[in-house]
Amino acid sequence: MVSAGARHVVARVCGAEAAEAVLALLDQAIQAISAFETAPNEWRIDAYPQAPVLSPELSARLALAAAAAGGTLIDIVEENLADRDWLGENQLAFPPLRIGRFFVYGSHHQGGVPAGVIGIALDAATAFGTGEHPSTRGCLAALELLARRRPIRHPLDIGTGTGILAIAAAKLLHRPVRASDIDAGSVAVARHNVARNHVAKLVRIERSSGYRGRLLRRRGYDLILANILARPLALMAADLARYLVPGGYAVLSGLLARQEPIVLAPHRSLGLVLKRRIIIDGWSTLVLRAGPGR
């Protein structure tokens, strides 16, 4: 599979909150996008539009957004990509992963699933959300830990991406799972992966912003998984508190260790208590519990 005529936008941003602001703006125009910290307080954002997207006006908006968030847009460039075998490269970059009881593998994997583990098959053409990132590994570890300690009957996955956490929850818990994502492309990918893993009868996914979806309106979730970014997690704290039952758990990830106060403060003000943190390569996964008197 060779991609012709694709573009590549690369932005370097100083400041985690500034990177979130730039990412949010670019995400409105480009579906394939990712962000990684390359140095202390410096981020690289990669986006792959199908047509030229960068203009002086957009560059100015991005610089202003970064400045308003207390950071700096160091530079941003757009270039043509030479024709490349993206699928082949992706397969090489996505070897099977053993994460606790889970075995995550791509469609190119020929070795089968080891005995005694839970296999999760993901399309190798979708690199983000394949379990490689520390935030995803942290969420899978937290899910496995909580499943050993208590029965979970009503799990919810916010910002499902490839659907990896929803699939993991369905296979581990054998319970119906509801999930959502704001991006239509991610919803399509997640539904594809759900079907590949034969859990379509358990997992229902819809496109929605946060908790606003029609399928999610029922309240009473005893586990909420949200692997997104620090600022959206903080902004959705009140919604999470409304939908989580007393004594229920929330697993929040997609934040750096130094961003924990941004996420914890609004949740603590709503009666949620930090029970555990999992830190992998500087990325935090927070396990919170809703108090019984909330």
Question: Do 89 and 6 meet the contact criterion of CB atoms below 8 Å apart?
Answer: no
pLDDT above 90: residue 73: yes
* Cα separation, 183 vs 180, whole angstroms: 9
> What value does the mean pLDDT take over residues 89-100?
70
Q: What sign for the dihedral angle of Cα 210, 187, 86, 62?
A: negative
| This prediction's pTM | 0.74
CATH of domain 7-80: 3.30.70.260
Edge-to-edge strands, sheet with 102-106: 97-99, 102-106, 118-122
Can you give the residue ranges of every domain in the chain?
7-80, 134-290
Give the residue among 247, 216, 252, 219 at the shortest CA–CA distance from 234.
Answer: 252
* Cα separation, 187 vs 193, whole angstroms: 10
How confident is the model over 218-257, as pLDDT tens digits? 768 999 999 988 888 999 999 999 999 999 999 999 888 8
* Cα separation, 92 vs 129, whole angstroms: 16
Q: What is the mean pLDDT of the chain?
A: 85
pLDDT above 80: residue 86: no
Tokens matching residue 224: 């909420």
What is the DSSP secondary-structure string of 189-249?
HHHHHHHHTT-TTTEEEEE-STT-SSTT-S--EEEEEEES-HHHHHHTHHHHHHHEEEEEE
| 192: amino acid identity, one letter | H
CATH of domain 134-290: 3.40.50.150
* Cα separation, 34 vs 159, whole angstroms: 14
* Cα separation, 118 vs 200, whole angstroms: 16
> What value does the mean pLDDT take over residues 9-20?
89
Residue 57: Cβ within 10 Å count:
8
Question: Do 76 and 84 meet the contact criterion of CB atoms below 8 Å apart?
Answer: no
Q: Please, which pLDDT band fits residue 82 given cuts at 50, 70 and 90?
A: low
- What lies within 8 Å, CB to CB, of 169 at 6+ separation is 143, 152, 155, 157, 175, 177, 223, 225
How confident is the model over 125-167, as pLDDT tens digits? 443 566 778 899 999 999 999 999 889 999 999 999 889 999 9
Strands 72-80 and 7-14: antiparallel
The predicted pLDDT at position 5 comes to 54
Instruction: Point out the least confidently predicted range of 50-59, 165-174, 264-273.
Output: 50-59
The predicted pLDDT at position 133 comes to 83
Question: Do 225 and 285 meet the contact criterion of CB atoms below 8 Å apart?
Answer: no
Q: Is 7-80's fold the same as 134-290's?
A: no
Phi/psi for 41 (5° steps) reads 70, 15
How confident is the model over 249-293, as pLDDT tens digits? 999 998 888 889 999 999 999 999 999 999 998 899 999 999 874
> What value does the mean pLDDT take over residues 200-229?
88
Instruction: Point out the least confidently predicted range of 23-32, 114-123, 239-248, 265-274.
Output: 23-32
* Cα separation, 196 vs 126, whole angstroms: 14
CA end-to-end distance (rounded Å), the chain: 53
